[in-house]
Amino acid sequence: MSQTAVNDKERQQRFILQDSLWKVMVQLSWPAIMAMVLYGLNAVIAAVFVARYIGETALAGVSVAYPLTMFGMGFGSLIGVGAGAVLSIAIGRQDKAVQQRLLGHVNSLSLIVTIVYMTVALPLSSEFVKVMGGQGEALVLGERYFTITVLGSFFWIYGLAANMIVRAEGKMRTAALVMGIGLAADVAFNYLLVAALDLGVAGAAWATNAGMIVYTLLGFVYFSKGWSSFQTKASAFYWDWATVKSIVSLGMASLIMNVMNLVQGIVVFNALSRYGTMQDIAFYGVVYRVFTFLLTPIFGLMRALQPVVGINYGAGQYERVIRAYQIFTAASVLLTLPFWLISMLAPGSVLGLMLPGSAMTAEQSQFFRIYMAILPLLSIVFMAMTFFPAIDKGRPAAVIGLVRQLVFYIPVMLIAPAITGVAGVYWGALAIDTLMVVWTVLLIQKECRALRKKTWPQAGLTVPL
């Protein structure tokens, strides 16, 4: 590594450890937010092309199948968030041994998880889509879309994990650039395969895979060329059980958040299939995608928060860790407000992009507003799910994800629609998220009190040398 590269690395670490946290937040967050906006657009692109060039039934099929792709993204997040948390703490502690072997464990985990995932998902693809509520032609199209995405799952898993490690270094601009190039490739391939060649739902799925291949190759080149701030071997494979355990435990909350979205999709789409129509399924699919897209600024700030908390925690600066959570959460709430207001005031304009030519009813407008009502305050929950793993505590974040879906979401979504019909889906979601915000505030307050009682070097990183 050249002296210039070493100086840049040290400068970045000093910036995160010593500079104004507001300045750190601004400098790291805008490229991270841009990266996550691009990531959110990646999820919307297929729906836009399917709706405009194929039709509503195809959109319903893709909407039913899309939550299943959370498996691939969830495994990528598990590895990337866990490895990123380990890396950030190791950087704060200047632990070279952990840094050098980290990518080898990421490579091994990505390959093994992909093999297991494909072995399970490919033979059961039809059953998975049925569980999601797929019926008739929507089932056929949804199965086709999901099967093709599974075939490209390695690129979803490794590509996302590699990008998250780049973010854990604090290199948000590089991560955003890689994601932007991948998005451009996705758009180009969607236009070619769906609009130009008329390959239908299969074309949309292959286009997304092609974009992820580009995304993955860029990540591999980044590490193989030695552009990372830590010494590593891009093609190495390591397997130390203790290190793997640390990566998995710290990344588990991210996997749970992604997979629990699948659980949410199962109960919601089955409720809509039972109590609603095909139009209700398609409408909810669009609402959910818009909701997820509007969360992307929060996701961006989450990614920027992780290295700030992790590196400062590794260096024993606990008060700065607490302050970082507070500043990033406040910024996240403020940032989402304009987008939230537009959605609440003009839902027809927002949803019209993916429902061209469809007149939205007054009831649908109300449903959309109900679903969006709590969105700005969800920053508290999502920041907490980054905060806990970054301070070497994966369990509280995992519990937040599990409680939201298993304790609240499943019972509410089984009961509320049976009483009030389709409206129960939207009112139930609002009630659940409101409860989660209150509970998370209590958890964070408890952890902040514990951190203030700590003195360096009592807290130990669980990752071995």
Q: What are phi and psi of 225, to 5 degrees?
A: -85, 0
How confident is the prediction along the chain (465 residues), in pLDDT tens digits per residue? 455 545 556 677 778 888 888 988 888 888 877 777 776 676 677 777 777 777 777 777 777 787 787 788 888 888 988 888 888 888 777 777 777 888 889 999 999 999 999 999 999 888 888 877 677 777 888 888 889 989 999 998 998 898 888 888 878 888 888 888 888 888 888 888 888 887 888 888 898 899 889 989 998 888 888 777 777 777 888 888 888 888 988 888 778 777 777 777 778 888 888 887 777 887 887 888 788 878 877 888 888 888 888 888 888 888 999 999 999 999 999 988 988 898 888 887 777 766 655 667 788 888 889 999 999 999 999 899 889 888 888 788 888 878 887 788 888 888 888 888 888 888 988 999 999 999 999 999 999 888 888 754 444 444 433
Strand (E) or helix (H) holding 411: helix 410-420
- Check: CB of residue 32 under 8 Å from CB of residue 172: yes
In terms of Cα–Cα distance, which of 438, 313, 454 is closest to 386? Answer: 313
* Residue appearing with tokens 């949309």: 204
Residue 231 near residue 99, CB atoms below 8 Å: yes
Question: CA 105 → CA 116, 161, 403, 406, distances in Å?
Answer: 17, 11, 30, 31
Measured CA distances, 400 to 244, 252, 266, 427 (Å)? 23, 11, 19, 20
* C-alpha to C-alpha distance for 96 and 232, rounded to whole angstroms: 10
> What is the 3-state composition of the chain as percent helix, strand, coil, each rounded to the nearest 5?
85, 0, 15
Q: What is the DSSP letter of 124?
A: T
What is this structure's pTM? Answer: 0.74
For residue 414, give the nearest of 297, 218, 275, 300 by alpha carbon: 275
DSSP 346: -
